[in-house]
Structures are given as structure tokens and as C-alpha cells.
């Protein structure tokens, strides 16, 4: 490109559309390119020993629908039934109470130092106790096999 205007026009045209490192078609049709998503899905199906090609079944899994309805009907709030769960509840109550106390003393003009230290200690005890009574990630029903939130 001999002149500056042509180089700038070429740079502007390169900025539009698919970045050049992904565009192997160079402006031609994209029919010969590999579809990465389809390739990954095929690899996943082969690892799960499913058939190589996916075909829609058109049906519903009745067991999954029934389990989904049961989960909706369950009460998500339940009373603690073990000492560990009671301690976890007490820890959260201490943390919330300390936070509310911090908000209250923040607006008071003269607060004794022992009160601030006491509230800070209650907050620290609540947070540190969660490390001991928190439980293991293996017991958490909201995590999948890889530790990701469900």
C-alpha cells in the first residue's frame, strides 16, 4: 500500500468483524471452517460413551420433572439438627449482632473504648468460629463434583 490513506482504510477494515487470528476464511464463505462448539460437544459425548451424533428425542424425562417439583415443594428453611449446625447459627447471629452494634456506635458521639473493643472481639469470634464449624465442601449440597456453585 503506497499511500497513507490506503493503509488507514485497510486498518479500519481489519477492525470490523471477526479478528484476523480467528478468520481463516479471509472474507470468503465460512463453510470449510471447523465449528469449535460442535467439536467440543462431540468430544464430551464420546467421553460419556454416548453416540457420536446428537439427535433430538422430543420427549421429557419424567423423573427429572418429578424431582424438580419435589425440590420446589421442600421448605428451604429447616431447624438445625446437629451441634455443628447450632454453632454455625450462633456464629452468624454473633456476626449480625456485631455488625448492627457497629452501625449503632458509629453514630454515637462518645463511645467508650472498651465497648468498641468488645464489639470487635465478638465480630472476630463469630468469623473465626465459622472456620471451625463451617463443614467441608463435600457436605455442601449446593456444589457440584468440581466445587462450582449449582
Its pTM stands at 0.46
Tens-digit pLDDT profile for residues 62-105: 666 666 666 666 666 677 778 888 899 999 999 999 999 999 99
Tens-digit pLDDT profile for residues 9-49: 877 776 666 555 555 555 555 555 667 777 788 788 788 87
* DSSP secondary structure of the chain: --SHHHHHHHHHHHHSSS-TTT--STTS-STTS--HHHHHHHHHHHHTT--SS--------HHHHHHHHHHHHS-S-----SHHHHHHHHHHHHHHHHHHHHHHHHH-S---HHHHHHHHHHHHHHHHHHHHHS--GGG-TTB-TTS-B-
Q: Domain map of the chain by residue range?
A: 83-139
- Predicted pLDDT at 98: 96
Amino acid at each position: 500500500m503506497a499511500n497513507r490513506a490506503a493503509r488507514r482504510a485497510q486498518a479500519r477494515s481489519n477492525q470490523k468483524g471477526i479478528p484476523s487470528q480467528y478468520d481463516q476464511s479471509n472474507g470468503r464463505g465460512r463453510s470449510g471452517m471447523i465449528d469449535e462448539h460442535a467439536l467440543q460437544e462431540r468430544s464430551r459425548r464420546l467421553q460419556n460413551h454416548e453416540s457420536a451424533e446428537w439427535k433430538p428425542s422430543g420427549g421429557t424425562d419424567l423423573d427429572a420433572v418429578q424431582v424438580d417439583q419435589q425440590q420446589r415443594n421442600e421448605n428451604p428453611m429447616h431447624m438445625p439438627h446437629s451441634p455443628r449446625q447450632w454453632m454455625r447459627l450462633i456464629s452468624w447471629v454473633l456476626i449480625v449482632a456485631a455488625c448492627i452494634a457497629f452501625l449503632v456506635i458509629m453514630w454515637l458521639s462518645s463511645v467508650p473504648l472498651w465497648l468498641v473493643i468488645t464489639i470487635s472481639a465478638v465480630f472476630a469470634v463469630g468469623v473465626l468460629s465459622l472456620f471451625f464449624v463451617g463443614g467441608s465442601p463435600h457436605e455442601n449440597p449446593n456444589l457440584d463434583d468440581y466445587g462450582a456453585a449449582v
